[in-house]
Amino acid sequence: MFFGPLPLSDAEGAILAHSLRLSGLAFKKGRRLSADDVAALREAGISEVIAAKLSDSDIAEDAAATRIAAAVAGGSVQIAAAFTGRVNLFAEAHGLLRLDPACIDAINEIDESVTIATLPDFAPVQPGQMLATVKIIPFAAPAAAVEQAEQLAADGPPPLAVLPYRPLSVALIQTRLPGVKDSVLDKTVMVTRERIEALGGTLIDESRCAHDEAALAAEIAAMPPADLLLIAGASAITDRRDVLPAAIERAGGVVEHFGMPVDPGNLLLLARRDGKPVLGLPGCARSPKLNGFDWVLQRIAAGIPPSRSEVMRMGVGGLLAEIPTRPLPRAGVSTETPRAPRVTALVLAAGRSSRMGPTNKLLAEVNGAPLVARAVDAALASQAANVIVVTGHQGESVARALADRPVTFVHNPAFAEGLSSSLRAGLAAVPSESDAVVVCLGDMPRVASAVIDRLIAAYSPVEGRAICIPTTHGKQGNPVLWDRAFFTEMAALTGDAGAKRLIGQHADRLCEVPVDDAGILYDVDTPELLARFTETADGRKISAPDPASAGSSRG
């Protein structure tokens, strides 16, 4: 890859290394310069630019990051679309992250252009939580480095996966000594049940007996079959020959290990009976605070119960107790774990099709399906969390045409007032947990789900990308993604021009997202365009439209 000053005569196709702001021009870093861009720069008096130019032995940053992410990702891992050489990986299930640290390290050592950053091995994760990010540092990576990374990942099980928690059945026995209050034991049941249910399991039985070897052994033998047996002693275990381990062995079990290098949680006992794990609980297990019992319970729920040697290797990072020197989070700084953005797709399908005469273009049949179904299906196939369809003109017919699709319908009785009224109705229905909305137009049948995914991948309000708009050959198109911060302004719009008029007011928060898809410029506004689209669409492959003949985009 070449990097450095390039004369304009050699700059077409190069990637701009630094943003340029000149009179009438605003080119951002990473822009691939077109012939029109070069001409505009020449007219502005620029003779050379600092840029990168890829060679045949390079793979562009987005393609390289996507290939490496696909190679390392295993089960229950969602791969986001690439943007600026970054691909984020998210959990698709509630479970434990499992890594092959040696493989991840080996990939990071291949070439300085290739990086993977992850959460720690065995990290408990929730659906939508970020697990890792693959980042190509410059504008491209050597093809040989990408191929080597793919080979390393293919040499064994995927080096990054989520092991979902299984619905464990759990039984609990508590021993008691004279003077122990029932309220203490009741609280232990409550805390234990909450722990188990948080991992998708069920506490199926709970019993109590005297803190005595014979009594406890009889209680263990009488417990119904369960995936896991927990025993909470009235007194802490102090030795392998104490009441709890002795009773487990008397009942036919085997003690595998006593103690663990995790604090709190040192006095945990690991045992087995009838092929199922048995845990003697440390006293801290009566508290809901994180302790060593949680680490072992999570691994059992994920189907990978720890061995004796694995428990003994939990010491690094095993200091969980609050200590005076531990710094508190800075005031005002969020400690929320990074997660996938929750984006609602809003499909506007309320228009009167005024330029179509008596025909409602959204209901026009194309290859056995109504035109509007193409926009809705693209939204459903994307990584949007949910899809809302706003109806208006012939709303009942539009809703019937889409009745078999998992969408939420919102009717706009004021559809005659223009696009802004449908936008307002749709925004009012966006769930409160959604971070942003991507506004799709029902009469744009050539917008692919990959375009929506790329907008979601680009979206990062923290980094100044709060409005994301697709571009092709320097022209802005639809759909447009808007952060929730703009909902109030969007809802205050009037007329038929949509929200694009706000873009100029928030240029500092705008991100243009290049896509190789002219469908972002194509809407069906006239009988001629509908006829042409119907003739060319075969339901599998649609030829790229001529932007000059495309309808007017109004996102």
Q: What DSSP designation does 340 have?
A: -
- CA neighbor of 499 nearest in space, from 442, 439, 449: 439
What type of residue sits at position 9? S
* Ramachandran assignment for 473, one of left (phi > 0), alpha (psi -120 to 50 degrees), beta (any other): left
What type of residue sits at position 412? N
Q: Which residues of the chain register pLDDT less than 70?
A: 321-337, 353-359, 537-555
- CA neighbor of 99 nearest in space, from 126, 117, 111, 81: 117
- Name the class of domain 58-164: alpha beta
Instruction: Report the run of H or E that residue 511 belongs to, with start and end.
Output: strand 510-514
- Per-residue pLDDT of 412-423, as tens digits, reads 999 999 899 999
What's the rounded Cα separation, in Å, for the pair 494 and 417?
A: 8
Q: How many residues does the chain have?
A: 555
Q: Which residues, including other chains, have CB under 8 Å from residue 527's CB and lie 6 or more apart?
A: 356, 357, 359
- CA neighbor of 291 nearest in space, from 283, 299, 303: 283
What's the rounded Cα separation, in Å, for the pair 418 and 313?
A: 65
The 3-state DSSP class for residue 288 equals: coil
Cβ atoms < 10 Å from Cβ of 383: 21
Domain residue ranges of the chain, discontinuous segments joined by +:
2-53, 58-164, 169-312, 343-549
Superfamily name and number for 169-312: MoaB/Mog-like domain (3.40.980.10)
Strands annotated E in 168-275:
169-176, 202-210, 228-232, 254-258, 269-273
What pLDDT score was predicted for residue 319? 93
What pLDDT score was predicted for residue 150? 98
**pTM > 0.85:** no
The dihedral over CA atoms of 517, 518, 524, 530, expressed in degrees to the nearest 10, equals: -90
* Overall fold of domain 2-53: Molybdopterin biosynthesis moea protein, domain 2 (3.90.105)
Q: Which CATH number fits domain 343-549: 3.90.550.10, 3.40.50.80, 3.30.450.20, 3.40.50.300?
A: 3.90.550.10
Cα angle 547, 549, 550 (rounded to 5 degrees) comes to 65
Q: Answer whether 85's CB lies under 8 Å from 169's CB.
A: no
